[in-house]
Structure 1
Amino acid sequence: MSSLSQKLASLFLIDSTGDFTENLRLLEQYQPAGLLLFAKDLAGLSEKAVKERLAIYRQARPGLLLAIDQEGGLVSRLSALYPNRSYPSQAELLKKGADFFLAESQKTALELKDLGINLNFAPVADLSLDPASFIYSRTLQTGAEETGPAIAAFIKLYRQLGVASCAKHFPGYGDAGDTHQAPAKDLRSLKEAQLDLLPFKAAIAAGVPTIMVAHLEVACYSPGPASLSPEIYRLLKEDLHYSGVAITDDLAMATARESSCPELLALKAGADLLLGGKLENLPILEAAAESGELPKERIKDALVRVQTLQDDYSL
């Protein structure tokens, strides 16, 4: 790999293949910034075996971000490793009080850290009060006035414990549909959509190290997926003064893959870390960088942000 290709590869946080040997090969060959673990990486293994595997991954790629989606409730990867443990949703925890919410969040963060996982794609900062909404069951199911402080407290707690958190899904799902299989569009007015920014503003003020950008289209901001939109990243980085890592939602999702190379579009738009990006598209990124289509300053900014994240949360 060329020096440029190596730099670009370090802006990928790849999805686990589910195969330990293949994951290790990819980490050794490409040196991506991180690896996203799924239930399939934990199921059927002992706690000791998982720790050993993750330690080997970190040896293969120093500074590796080992990430997981452990929101609780419907999205609980740890349940595959600890089937007898309960991981309630964010909303269920908060209903028992802020102290209980934080106490349970601390237990989960410490479990992750003990395993060797240093990045949790939580908390969900989306606002929804509609039980029929796709995202409702994963949210705190409260208004911005209560969601913001809870999100901020969660992020500060994780920082103290040395585990990176991630506020998602910017700029807010609202009551839009699921983007895993098909495009979704938010047709609300700008005034309505801006209410969804309040929890993210609270997250930024709390020092959230990563923010995940959604694939849904928020029509009042820009056409097309937010994760590929320069306007969305300008909103996040310039208007909201966010200096951390902007990570795409998983680029393996159908909505993102409607483009032949969403990795290039996302980087050009302002993404710093490509979740689920295809490493086989590295030559396209390299060619774009060499031609100037992908500006050097854009690459440099992303590299600095990602390296800072790795330095701050290395295990």
Structure 2
Amino acid sequence: MKNVVLKFLAFLLVFFPLYSKTSAEKIWNSLSEIEKISQIFLVNVEGNEIFHPVEFLEDGTAVVPGGIILFSYNIGNSKNQLKDYIFSINSFYKKNKSPLPFIAVDQEGGEVNRLKKITSHLPSEKKISENYTLKEAKSIYSNQAIQMKELGITMNLAPVAEAEIESNKVFLGTRTFGGVPNSVAYSMICVRAYEENGIASVAKHFPGNANSDPHTGSVEITLSPSEVFKSFIFPFALVLKSNPSCVLVSHAKINSLDENPACMSSFWIKEILQSYLGFKGLVLSDDVFMGALSDSPPEQVAANAIISGVDVIMLSEKKFLSVAKSLLNLAANDKFFANRLCAAEKKVLDFKLEKGIIKIEEN
């Protein structure tokens, strides 16, 4: 009888977690329109000692994003300095009665290593796969996650889960674990290490990249549909089985399947990532100020991304209010867009509740 009860309780926890959808709904209902839409932005901030907002409404109310991404100049020179800075961020949000933000960082290892002054040595993904067993790799990433958690970081924009092929190897360099077998095995290990130690992982950059750099210009993948499936979709399908909290969508165009950049493509996000691959977590855009999207203003990119299924818009700039107001104006005249915007806002709040970043009693 005892075993039956335990199995029933386990069933309830799987299908009815300790937080509920109504919790996110209650928090969402308590927020102003600008506080609601702020949840969908992942934005960089100023300083590395004391947090100060940079945007305000006409009445002087500070406007702060739902997520904060820390760059190298935000990190400071010591563990204590970074901890104090993140503490100041959370303190400001609490004082402002805003839902606490998720704190993200790009900590891939190797060349992309924001915490190299703060945490233990983290080799590039390529060096990890070439020099360490899967067990050793999990220990390395788990150690990083523990250190990140202690600092107050809640999300890592890693791993780069793209497999290396001829048409992307120049751009990815050492940022990938290698070909399909290594990429899948080590990406899954990396995701589990972070997730099991309280850090939300972000598998990127779905569906893939080419050898051109999206920071400076457009990216076009010229592979056939069958090659895309073999080199990009199949590996990501396996990596998603390790349950990353988030997937970051690239700006690449794959003209053999869809003419739009992936981050503005309902085909790639709704049809492939969510319906075909079954991903239910947060969908992040890559930075909308990258050169790959320079033909369109960020307001238009953000709107098209939200319509296509993106939940979180990343902006490397420190200001997002003009984009937020543009989206609110669009929502006021477009019921479909308004509903999609609400769904994204609530999904971010669900994520924060699930990760323990916010609690229902705090709001």
User: Structure 2 length as normaliser, TM-score?
Assistant: 0.79
1:32 and 2:32 correspond: no
1:194 and 2:226 correspond: no
> What CA distance in whole angstroms lies between the structure 2 residues aligned with 1:293 and 1:21?
40
**Residue number in structure 1 paired with 2:75:** 42
1:214, CA displacement in angstroms? Answer: 0.3
How do residues 225-304 of structure 1 correspond to structure 2 at under 5 angstroms? 225-234=261-270, 235-260=272-297, 261=299, 262-276=301-315, 278-292=320-334, 295-304=337-346
1:69 and 2:101 correspond: no
Structure 1 287/135 Cα, relative in aligned 2: closer, same or farther at 3 Å?
Answer: same
Determine which of 163, 179, 182 is the counterpart of 2:217.
182
Per-residue deviation, residues 7-64 of structure 1 (Å, max 9, x unmatched): 2111101122346666545598223211000111114x32112101101212233431
Quote the RMSD (CA, aligned, Å): 2.2
1:110, CA displacement in angstroms? Answer: 1.2
**Residue number in structure 1 paired with 2:84:** 52
- Identify the range of structure 1 (98-107 vs 54-63) with the bigger mean alpha-carbon deviation: 54-63
Structure 1 counterpart SS, 2:104: strand
Aligned letter for 1:46?
A: S
Aligned letter for 1:216?
A: A
Structure 1 counterpart SS, 2:159: coil
Per-residue deviation, residues 113-157 of structure 1 (Å, max 9, x unmatched): 1111010000000111448520132000122x3322322222222
Structure 1 counterpart SS, 2:171: coil
Structure 1 counterpart SS, 2:200: coil
Structure 1 227/20 Cα, relative in aligned 2: closer, same or farther at 3 Å?
Answer: farther
Structure 2 counterpart SS, 1:301: helix
1:76, CA displacement in angstroms? Answer: 0.4
- Identify the range of structure 1 (194-203 vs 48-57) with the bigger mean alpha-carbon deviation: 194-203
How do residues 94-109 of structure 1 correspond to structure 2 at under 5 angstroms? 94-95=129-130, 96-109=132-145
Determine which of 160, 164, 182 is the counterpart of 1:124.
160
**Residue number in structure 1 paired with 2:42:** 13
For structure 1, list consecutive stretches of 5 or more residues without a partner in the other structure. Answer: none
Per-residue deviation, residues 225-247 of structure 1 (Å, max 9, x unmatched): 21112221122112212110000
Contact 1:63 1:311 in 2 (8 A): no
Larger Rg: 2
> What CA distance in whole angstroms lies between the structure 2 residues aligned with 1:88 and 1:19?
25
> What CA distance in whole angstroms lies between the structure 2 residues aligned with 1:74 and 1:58?
29
Structure 1 274/93 Cα, relative in aligned 2: closer, same or farther at 3 Å?
Answer: same
